[in-house]
Structure formats: C-alpha cells, structure tokens
C-alpha cells in the first residue's frame, strides 16, 4: 500500500527530542523509592533479535491522581534507546468512574464529533517496527520471550499476526517498515477463544486481531481517525472495528443508554463502546461499558469456578442468585458425566460453551432470563409479605433499646400473658461470647411456640444485621417465607439525647438495685452503673426502617419510654400482634389480666448472675474513631459509592484499626504491638464492649480505593499522643496499610477484603482497582478499644 495515500502526519524532529527527555526522566523515576509517580522498568529482547526493549509501567492509581503529574499517561509504553517504539492510548475511564468523566463534566469539557467504536473483548496488543524491518509485538506491559510466563500474550499475538499477513500475501517486513516510517503504533485487540476465553465469543472466522487504533509514537497523545484506521486494517488484513459518529454529547449518551438496555449492537452482544472526541484541542477517549449481560456472564463464570474448586456448599452468589442457582443445577450433571469439561474449565476453556448450552436449554434470550429473574424476586417478596400458601408463621420479636427502657419487663409481661404462645430468650442468660447462641435458643423455642422475643439491647446496626445473618445460617426447619421479624423499637421517636430518656432510665436502674443479671448497683455502686448506661446510650443507633439492616424487618412497632411504660407497651404490642399475626389468634386480655402479668414481671428475680466483661478478657482490636467521612464531597461522585448507598451497605461507624487480636496468631511482631496497646488499658475499668481511651491520634486520609466488591479509604497515622501531648509513636501499627472500610457490596463480602485490595494495589497495581486522591488531615481523633 502507498502510505502517502493515508495523509498521515510524520513525527517531527521536535517530538523525537521530547522522547529523549522523556526516557531520561523515566530512568530517574525508575530509581525513585517514592510510592507516588514511580515507574517500573522491565528490559527484554525483541523476539528474534538482540535489540533491547524497555517496558515502562506506572502505578494504576497515579493515572487518576490530581496530586501527581506523570511525564506521560500512556498505558502501554515501550522504548528502544531514547525513542518510543510502542505507545498505547492515554489511560481512559468509564463514564461516572471519576468526577472528571461524570456526564456533567464530559458535556462541559469535551467537543464532538463523538466517534463511537465497538469495544472488543480480548487482550490488547501493540504493534510497531524497527528500522531494520523487524516487527515488534507487545502485550500491555510485555514483549518477547519470558521464562516466567506460561501464557505469553505477546508471542501468541505475534504468531497470529504472521499468519494474518501470510494469508494476505504480505511480508511482515512491509508492515514493520511502514509503521517505522510513520512513527506509529498499531493498537489491536487479540480475540481468539482457542488461546484465551473472555466474555464475548470469538471462534473460527471471528477470531483474530481487531485493529482499533493508530497512535503516534509521541509524548503527547495523538491518534488517527477511525477512517484511517479502517483503511490501514483492510490493507494489512486486520479485522475492523465497527464505528460511527454522532454530532453532540447528548446524542451520544442517548444512544449509549438505549443500547445498554439490551447489551446488543446490530443484534450482537458487545461489551460496550469507546468514545473518541476532543478535549482542550487534543484527542480524548472515554468508555461506556454495559452492565448487562456481562455482569451475569462474569458471575456465571465465577460461580462455576467456585463450584469446581470448592464444591457447591462454598459457592457465594452476588447479583443473580436465582439464575446462578438454576445454571449450576443444569451444569453440575454435565461436569459429573464428562470430567474433561472440568479440567478444561479450570484452564479457562469451555466458559462460553457451558453458558451457551445453558441458554439453549432455557430457550430464552439473556435479557428475557434476567427479566424473568427480576419478576421472580418481586413475586417471591410479595408472597412472603402476604404469607401466601402458609398455614401459620413463626414470629421473632427483636428488641431495640438502651438500658432501663423496660424491654425485659415488657417481654416478661407478654410471656406471662401468653405462656403457650410467647417465649423469651434473654441475652443475659446466654454464656459469653453470645455470638449465635441466643438465636439458636430462639429457634428451639419456635419449635414449640409461634412467637419468641429476642431480649437484647440490639442497640447497634451491626447487632441487628448479625441477628438476621444468624437466623439465615442456623434455621433449617422453618421456611424463610414463614419466618417474620418484628422490631420492638423501645425508643420510638424519642432521641437518645433527650434528657427525659436519661432521667427515666437512670431512675429505673438505680431503683432496681441488684435485681439485674449484670448491673449490680448495690454491689458496684451507682457510678459504674451510670458509666455502663452512658456507654450503651452513646453507641445507640436509632432504627431506620428504610435502611439496611432495619429495612429487613417485616414490621416495626414504635414504643414509648415513660413512667410505668412497660405495661402500656405490652398492651400496644398485644394489639399489634392481634392484627399482624392473625394466624396465631392472639386474644386481647382484660385489664386485670394485664396488671397481674405486669406485677409478676416486676417481681421477677434473675437466677443467673452475669458480669460484664472483665479485664482478663482479651480486647478484639484497638482503633481510631473517625467521624462522618460521608461528608467528603469527592466520595459522592463515585458510582460505586452510590451503589453502596442504594443497597444500604455504607457502614454507620468508621474507624482505622491499629491492631487486631486475630493478627497476633503465630506472628511475634504483631503480638508485641498488641501487648503494647494492652499496656495502655491496664488501669482502665472494662465496663462495656467498647471504651473510648484518653489518647488521641492525628491521621491523614490519603485516597479512596474501590473495586466491584469493597470500598475503603487508605490512611496514614501521623502520630498518637496522650492527654499532655506526649508522643506514643513507639506503639506501632498492626495493619500493613491502615484504612477505613466504607462498605462492601453484600453481606457475603467481608470488610477484611479491604486489606487484600490495598495489598494488590501496592504490590501489583491491579488495574481493576480504582482510586481517587483525598489528602485530608484529621486531628485529635479518639482512640478506643473494642472487646
């Protein structure tokens, strides 16, 4: 082909000088020990030559950092001597992934036309040539033969390219010379299921190298139009990418949002689009990835791998539980009858095949299957709420209260009134640690009676969440649709800061003296009782019926805290049960029966004496309390944070863990740090599960980090000090990367995943981890110990 016909600019001498300066700067950065703005250099040999080629790799988080200025933003960069020989696109992001690519920002800062190119689903490849006519083929960060690679993408793509050119009757030297003379990198996607399966199917005639870019080998990002790219692809036998132009940002977004409803383009499944436009008179890219069906396809792949590796009992479901369960029901017999399928799948083969077999079995399109699942979930919830098809339900009454609200008196009054219908399981009767023991006891009661009262303060969201989780784990007899949860909200609409609440509850506790399993006023004095009460009151988190976990209650009964309110609350609960538990047939007692049951409850003497945790019990962890990170403006712009909010998965309390007892096992350095912190509390009376300590800390919130499962804020602990300002820096920190966990995508994703996310980010620069810089200083944060 005649390269002049493409009307492509040549790389100027000035640009070559910039490249020299760039390589010099990269060499200096590669020697830096700084965490930010550093670059990793890897030098190898161009395949078939003795020419040294260097790959330069930045940390993923630095691409989006506002605090770091990189010398170049190419994702994929290779040099020979002082010249760029392969240059990838400048790193680009998904719509709404960062504030700079929010719909509002894109509309205000970019100009058209907007070229929408279909996003291929394979591994990216960079192709260029040396002066002697040698082809250079690179994967994202590698080229040539490498001993440690068992799956060499660069060499596999190079072999595919040579087959492609041979079929076209073109000498590889011609392509290499053309790219060298133009000073360009051909950017392609190697899509071939026989080499590596992804999400989209690429078999037989669809497999190959899809050319989607021609980049100038310059420091500044400059790329050719898709018209030129397509002409070049056709000349050298590359497969072409479908593309089209839209004049305005509004038109582009309308098209993308419409296409995302089906995940199809021209009747075929695609991953999404890359949008090319202009920003500040320079080439600028952003992407629009479809949520479905790729969310489903990835989950089908992951649950299959979990099943094959760990067994069906260890499979965890995320977004498409019903579909995945049905899918496993279909594929498990196939794996059992054909063991070779299992071996292939674990090697990354047959992923698409198994999915297609399932779809053929269902005889539905993927969009129909997803819509069917949504309808089933809705129907299941409606039937659950209506109690459809059930003879009788079982009711769990969960108390939410602070000390002195009258929950036990109210509970005992109800049990006295309805001994055949209602049982009470008190937390104070359960040996420590309670964990799931109280729920197990409640399930035993429900075998004999239709109603049980789980008598515990449940004053924090986490305790209510754990209650639901324990019932889900332990319940083997009662169908989920027959198990109803009713919240007895003892504070009702009263604020925990209302002086009236303290006045009433304090008087009650002092009046009952030692007539309580754990708070002994006469034995220990009023001061200790008040300290315990203030601890619970300070940590109390009011019921929020529209937020998780309180949104899981089938009913919430708002009660009152007043003088003799236990009797009135028992009456209110009885009336409500008569309405909502009609299958139980609760008969409303007369006034005399109420008074008799209430008086008997007041005379109740605890048989078990249970002490609050003593200093001999090990603290679980020490931490720094951090308040209201929700007020950080940047975090609200992040799509994943919005997702957590919608799912009510943002934590209600935030802290930086300093040392956890779990990290001390078989780890002497961690044990030494833990013991130093324990020394701080040797004179502190242990009166509740969490105690604020007379020490402070200054910290810095470095950046927000997230993937599709967890979001956290990486932090730096600047100093720890006592009341007089004395430094306690020698204590040390048990976490390799201190952080605050903001939230996880589901109950099945534990907060401990924050540790792995940050480790992957620091050690490997994982491209699936997103970051956004904060650089916020926080001073005089309180330290606490949690038992």
- Which has the closest alpha carbon to 278: 115, 110, 104? 110
Q: Residue 447: which H helix or E strand, with range?
A: helix 437-448
The structure tokens listed for 351 are 């992923």
The structure tokens listed for 597 are 């049951």
Q: Which long-range contacts (CB under 8 A, 24 or more apart) does 302-305 make?
A: 303/327, 303/328, 304/328, 304/331, 304/345, 304/351, 304/354, 305/345, 305/346
Cis peptide before 433 (omega within 30 of 0): yes
- Which has the closest alpha carbon to 327: 349, 366, 358? 358
- Interacting residues of 232 by C-beta distance below 8 A, sequence separation 6+: 6, 186, 211, 214, 224, 238
Q: Residue 571: which H helix or E strand, with range?
A: helix 565-580
What's the CA gap between 702 and 712, in Å, rounded? 11
Cα R_g (the chain), whole angstroms:
32
The structure tokens listed for 146 are 């490498």
**Could you tell me the sign of the dihedral formed by the alpha carbons of 618, 620, 622, 626, in that order?**
negative
**526-539 and 499-512 are packed helices; what angle lies between their axes, rounded to 10 degrees?**
140
What's the CA gap between 734 and 658, in Å, rounded? 6
**321-337 and 294-310 are packed helices; what angle lies between their axes, rounded to 10 degrees?**
50
Catalytic residue ranges = 119
Burial state string for 577-600 with b = 16 or more CB within 10 A and e = fewer than 16: beebbeebebeebeeeebeebbee
Cβ–Cβ < 8 Å for 486, 555: yes
Extract the runs of DSSP E, i.e. beta strands, from 690-758. 690-706, 710-721, 739-744
Other CB atoms closer than 10 Å to residue 608's CB: what's the count?
Answer: 11
């Amino acid at each position: 082909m005649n390269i002049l016909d493409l009307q492509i600019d040549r790389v100027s001498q000035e640009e070559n000088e910039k490249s020299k300066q760039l390589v010099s700067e990269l060499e200096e950065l590669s020697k830096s020990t700084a965490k930010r703005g550093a670059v990793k250099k890897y030098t190898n040999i161009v395949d078939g030559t003795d020419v040294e080629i260097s790959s330069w790799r930045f940390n993923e988080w630095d691409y989006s950092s506002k605090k770091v200025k990189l010398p170049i933003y190419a994702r994929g960069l290779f040099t020979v001597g002082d010249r760029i020989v392969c240059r990838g696109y400048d790193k680009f992001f998904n719509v709404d992934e960062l504030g700079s690519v929010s719909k509002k920002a894109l509309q205000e800062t970019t100009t058209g036309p907007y070229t929408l190119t279909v996003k291929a689903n394979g591994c990216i490849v960079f192709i260029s040539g040396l002066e002697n006519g040698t082809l250079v083929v690179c994967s994202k960060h590698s080229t040539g033969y490498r001993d440690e690679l068992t799956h060499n993408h660069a060499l596999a793509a190079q072999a595919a390219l040579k087959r492609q050119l041979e079929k076209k009757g073109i000498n590889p030297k011609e392509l290499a010379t053309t790219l060298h003379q133009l000073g360009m990198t051909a950017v392609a996607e190697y899509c071939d299921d026989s080499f590596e399966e992804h999400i989209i199917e690429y078999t037989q005639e669809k497999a190959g190298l899809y050319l989607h870019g021609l980049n100038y080998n310059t420091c500044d990002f400059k790329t050719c139009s898709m018209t030129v790219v397509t002409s070049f692809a056709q000349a050298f036998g590359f497969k072409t990418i479908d593309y089209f132009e839209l004049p305005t940002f509004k038109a582009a977004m309308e098209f993308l949002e419409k296409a995302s409803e089906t995940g199809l383009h021209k009747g075929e499944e695609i991953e999404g689009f890359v949008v090319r436009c202009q920003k500040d008179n320079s080439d600028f890219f952003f992407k629009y990835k479809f949520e479905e069906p790729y969310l489903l396809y990835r989950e089908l792949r992951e649950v299959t791998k979990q099943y094959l590796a760990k067994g069906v009992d260890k499979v965890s479901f995320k977004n498409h539980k019903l579909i995945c369960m049905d899918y496993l029901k279909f594929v498990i017999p196939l794996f059992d009858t054909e063991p070779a399928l299992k071996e292939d799948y674990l090697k990354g083969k047959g992923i698409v095949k198994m999915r297609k077999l399932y779809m053929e079995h269902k005889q539905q399109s993927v969009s129909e299957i997803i819509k069917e699942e949504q309808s089933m979930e809705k129907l299941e919830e409606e039937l659950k709420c209506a109690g459809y098809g059930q003879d009788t339900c079982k009711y769990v009454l969960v108390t939410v209260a602070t000390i002195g609200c009258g929950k036990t008196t109210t509970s005992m009054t109800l049990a006295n009134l309805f001994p055949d219908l209602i049982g009470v399981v008190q937390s104070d009767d359960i040996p420590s640690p309670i964990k799931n023991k109280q729920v197990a006891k409640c399930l035993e009661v429900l075998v004999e009676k239709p109603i049980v009262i789980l008598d515990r303060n449940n004053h924090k969201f986490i305790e209510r969440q754990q209650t639901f989780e324990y019932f889900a784990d332990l319940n083997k007899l009662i169908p989920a649709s027959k198990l109803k949860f009713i919240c007895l909200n003892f504070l009702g609409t009263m604020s925990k800061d209302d002086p009236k609440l303290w006045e009433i509850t304090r008087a009650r506790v002092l009046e009952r003296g030692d007539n309580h399993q754990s708070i002994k006023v006469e034995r220990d004095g009023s001061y200790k009782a008040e300290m315990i009460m203030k601890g619970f009151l300070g940590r109390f988190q009011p019921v929020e019926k529209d937020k998780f976990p309180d949104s899981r209650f089938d009913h919430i009964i708002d009660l009152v805290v007043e003088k003799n309110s236990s009797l009135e609350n028992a009456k209110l609960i009885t009336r409500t049960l008569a309405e909502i538990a009609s299958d139980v047939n609760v008969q409303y007692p007369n006034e005399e029966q109420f008074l008799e049951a209430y008086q008997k409850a007041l005379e109740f003497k605890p048989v078990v004496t249970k002490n609050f945790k003593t200093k001999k019990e090990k603290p679980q962890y020490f931490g720094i309390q951090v308040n209201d990170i929700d007020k950080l403006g940047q975090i609200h712009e992040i799509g994943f944070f919005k997702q957590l909010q919608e799912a009510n998965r943002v934590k209600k309390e935030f802290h930086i863990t300093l040392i956890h007892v779990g990290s001390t096992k078989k780890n002497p350095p961690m044990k030494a740090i833990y013991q130093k912190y324990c020394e701080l509390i040797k004179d502190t009376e242990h009166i509740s599960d969490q105690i604020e300590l007379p020490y402070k800390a200054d910290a810095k919130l470095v950046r927000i980090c997230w993937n599709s499962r967890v979001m956290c804020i990486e932090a730096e602990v600047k100093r720890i000090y006592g009341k007089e300002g004395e430094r306690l820096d020698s204590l040390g920190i048990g976490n390799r990367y201190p952080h605050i966990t903001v939230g996880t995508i589901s109950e099945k994703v534990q907060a401990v995943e924050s540790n792995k996310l940050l480790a992957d980010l620091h050690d490997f620069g994982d491209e699936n981890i997103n970051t956004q810089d904060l650089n916020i200083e926080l001073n005089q944060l309180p330290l606490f110990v949690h038992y």
